[in-house]
Amino acid sequence: MNLIGEFVALSAHGRQQLAVQTSPPFLLGVGLLLLGVVLLVVAFLLARRSAE
């Protein structure tokens, strides 16, 4: 799985962009990214709980 590496690269790129531009569409993108991360964590926790 190379997803983690890609996510780290994307988040690092996002932090670099955050210093450059803070326009509403960009902030919306960051919000959606954070929402996706939260959903991934919730799904992971549910999968672990059901696996026990």
- pLDDT by residue for the chain (52 residues), tens only, comes to 577 777 767 666 656 655 555 567 777 888 899 999 999 999 999 999 998 7
Query: What is the per-residue pLDDT for 24?
Result: 72
> How many separate domains does the chain show?
1
Distance, CA of 6 to CA of 52 (rounded, Å)? 29
Give the C-alpha distances (Å, rounded to integers) separating 41 from 6, 18, 23, 44, 48: 17, 23, 27, 5, 11
Burial of 30 (0-12, 13-18, 19+ CB in 10 A): middle
Query: What is the per-residue pLDDT for 3?
Result: 75
> Which residues form the domain of 9?
3-51
